[in-house]
Amino acid sequence: MSEERLRRVRDRVRPFPDFPVPGVLFRDISPLLKDPVAFRTLIDLLEDHVRASFPKIDFIAGLDSRGFLIGPPLAQRLGIGFVPIRKKGKLPGPTESVSYALEYGKAELEIQSDAVEPGQKVVIVDDLLATGGTMCAACELLKRLKAEILECLVVIELKLLKGSEKLNSIPFYSLLQYD
């Protein structure tokens, strides 16, 4: 991976102190999304990583909502489909649902019951991994559908929150890490 390409992406992540609450340093990817060269570079880097790591992959699964911004262009580049994992009540038809804890309460994620077939190989994509609750919930949903989770892939990992440790034996990759 080229340090120059990685720097182009890192330079477009903007810190916001005390958002959404005092004491939190929010990592905003909005400038990255606004810059077509930096965004293309991001997708290039993720594509290079996935192609080098997995010779066979069936789907990219993206988490609501920023995983929807990264997942479809990555899936298109790889020539595979995209599967949305959404907040409860947003998907039509039969769904699988899982509840999980947030720092400030509970939330639920859903996936359509026919989103993947047993044994299909999936990479889960999101913009950021913090405490790991949402990513773990997504893994649980895909396990219920008997998918093979190849990896959890994020743009940004907040290392101090140790979210990747909650993923247990599921491989994890982050492009950028912050303490």
Calculate ∠ Cα 153-11-124, nearest 5°.
Answer: 10
Give Cβ neighbours of residue 97 (< 8 Å, ≥ 6 apart): 88, 108, 109, 110, 141
Tell me which of 8, 66, 110, 157 is the catalytic residue: 66
Tell me which of 7, 14, 51, 103 is the catalytic residue: 103
What H or E segment, with its residue span, contains residue 63?
strand 59-63
Active-site annotation holds for 66: yes
Structure tokens at 36: 């077509």
**Cα separations (Å) of 16 from 8, 27, 77, 104?**
19, 6, 31, 20
Structure tokens at 53: 């790591």
Active site (catalytic) residues: 66, 103
